[in-house]
Amino acid sequence: MSELIIIGYEDHRTADRAFARVEQLQRDFVVDLAGLAVVRVDEDGKKHVDTAAPPRGTSTASGALWGMLVGILFLVPGLGALVGGAMGALSGKLARSGIDRAFRERVDGLLQPGGAAVVVMTRKLTEDKFSAAMGEFGGTVLQTSLSDDDEKGLAEELATAEH
């Protein structure tokens, strides 16, 4: 089971420090990352995504899933208006896996001009150590779980949508 954790911050500097801390927690084996990114919103409201190098052991399918999740959560406003065919099926699978419209709206609400969010997808997490290490940065936390079946189904749906 993977955890998708999104921590919203009011400024880029705090998000950058939190991002660096998550990378350190990976090196300390507190978290086993499937993906890590920081999403910044400039003063004009434009979103910019920076990702860490893919974690060791990340398959092509999970890398594609990670990229798709970041894209849908942060870069595709009004997904419902754009969805058709295979993307509609993918959106339906996302909703069943806990990443529904309400969750996406909460994510969007975290990101105000000048703000940023750290996006963490974990394969394993020592929750108490992770929370203690990240607590100093504050922020607003959103979290959802993806079962192994959900992840596999989303990856398969994504592979189908790409062909």
pLDDT at 159: 58
The pLDDT score that the predictor gives to residue 29 is: 96
pLDDT at 152: 72
pLDDT in tens, 15-61: 999 999 999 999 999 999 988 999 999 999 898 888 876 655 555 55
Residue 112: C-alpha distances to residues 39, 108, 160 (Å)? 11, 8, 34
* Residue 57 to residues 52, 69, 119, 161, Cα–Cα distance (Å): 14, 19, 19, 24
Q: Tell me what the mean pLDDT of segment 97-104 comes to.
A: 76
Percent of the chain with pLDDT over 90: 40
Q: How far lies 10's CA from each of 40, 50, 74, 139, in Å?
A: 10, 17, 16, 8
How much is the average pLDDT of 51-73?
A: 66
For the cut 60, the answer to whether the pLDDT of residue 86 exceeds it is no
The answer on pLDDT for 73 being more than 90 is no
Q: Write the DSSP string, 71-98.
A: IIIII-TTHHHH--THHHHHHHHHHHTT
pLDDT of residue 71: 74
Higher pLDDT pick, 5 / 105: 5
Q: Among the ranges 64-73, 97-106, 112-121, which has the highest mean pLDDT value?
A: 112-121
